[in-house]
Structure 1
Amino acid sequence: MKKFLSGLCAAILAMSIAPLANAVELESAPPQRTQIAIVYDTGEAIGSANQHEARPALSLSKLYLGMWVLRNGDNADKAKVENMIRFSEDATASYLDRKYPQAISEVIGNYGLTHSRYGGAWGNSTTSVSDVARFVSAIKYDPVAAPIIQGMRTAAPIAADGYPQNYGTSQLPSSEGTKFGWSDNHNVNGTVSFGPGYVVAASTFGSASDNTSDVKSSIRDTPAGIPGIPDIPGVLPGFNGGAELKQRLRCLVPEEAGAAVEQIIPDNVPIPQQLVTVLPQCR
């Protein structure tokens, strides 16, 4: 039984970090106005030829600012991060940027974001979609970053300044959370989203609808289940969430092993039903 569980956990871990069969793929090059980058949970990265080009970071720089505050800021300021991301609050970002002027630069250095620069203020900073996608991929399962991820997952339909947050990579069918960015005159737009096994970012010298159309025309995202496995409402066809798997494992593994499993497998990672249903439910 121990050997079986060890093998099962190894298989689950491999599944949890590998891109799924339905993972987004860059099917064609976007127009030159748009750059796209995709980073899979395995670390594999792909993108358009211009994915490393430094462009206005827009409100995507709030991701960098927020991460520094969550690690190093005062508790009262940490509590501001989730809504800064959810509503893309400029006033909060400006307050945190003034209080912690080193924040964005240090995050750029700590995460090796080689195509990003702090411009003296969050709104003047530059980054590339390859940097943004790698950064979100790096923090996605970091407990410290939970307010950022939750803010992306629950992004408000309308931002604090009245701009709609409903375009770009958020329109991919498997997208689970998004940070949006736009220029004051709305002629530059960027988005970064995470989904099962991937992070994708896109920046467009154009409108929000241009960002959406270029993403949709360049990226394939067609969820597909496992043959012979029935679909379950609310999850990807043929998959269960990691939370259900961990619930079943609690009855079967020692307490210390269970604690490791809790840390390794995110609640929302898709696990093939074949691996979940082979385990008995706890009584």
Structure 2
Amino acid sequence: MKDYLVRGLVNSKNCRVFACQTTNLLEKARQEHDLWPTASAALGRMMSATLMMAAMNKNNEKMTVTINGGGPIGTMMAVTRGDGHIKGFVGDPHVHYTYNDTGHLAVGVAVGTQGTLQVIRDMGLKEPFCGTVPLQTGEIGDDFSYYFMASEQTPSVVSVGVLVDETNEILSSGGFIIQLLPEATEEDISYIEEKIKDFPAVSSLIHEGKTPEEILKMIFDDVEITDRQDLFFTCDCSREKMINALSTIGKQELQSMIDEDHGCEITCQFCNTKYQFSEEELQNLINRL
């Protein structure tokens, strides 16, 4: 089944809902970055939450989410334009921890809690909107829930999960978000809390073959699906963009690349594509500057 996201409304419970399956795009990211299981789980959870957050706005704004909790995984980043395409990376892809008592992947240990979750929305205005909150658990879902409450004053349930095979392949990835609307009552909140209390792990449901729509219907019988969007892991890097990046480092640095290395190689953080530049190309760039 291909990856996709749905958006919906539950009028009887005064909330809006989102759900996604991201198994294939995370598997592509795993292969491109050589992710170990806990790193896969961290990036997968982050990309699922980021895609659903981007779907909350219909104007295709660029959204960049950065998490750094001081843990061994380092800085994590995901970027999307709300068009279903996402790219992302983690600082150290070779991170793997499990909790002794459950054997589950210890994402919180890998990410850490001594840091922040930052969301930058670039809507094409003079200044992008930037919201930053301290990390709560490093488990990603809890941290996005806290972000919605603290930064956007929107009470939200965020459930994201990843299941990884013993061979490191991604078995399932995805999640759902429930957001209360201003009209929500105490009864609505109680209903959602009761439903979520013992709700199965979203990664297990996806692995069993449940679709995003079916997962939402397990919580709300009368959910109305209003939109659907296909999802992909894609990088928009190019040789031209790398030249633009080189042009920002200055003539002196470019000259030292020519003198010491007789050229340079740049690797894209998001997809690991390597770009080679010769002495002649660097000299032409110096001349242009």
**TM-score normalised by the chain length of structure 1:** 0.28
More helix by share: 1
**TM-score normalised by the chain length of structure 2:** 0.27
Quick check: which has more Rg, 1 or 2?
2
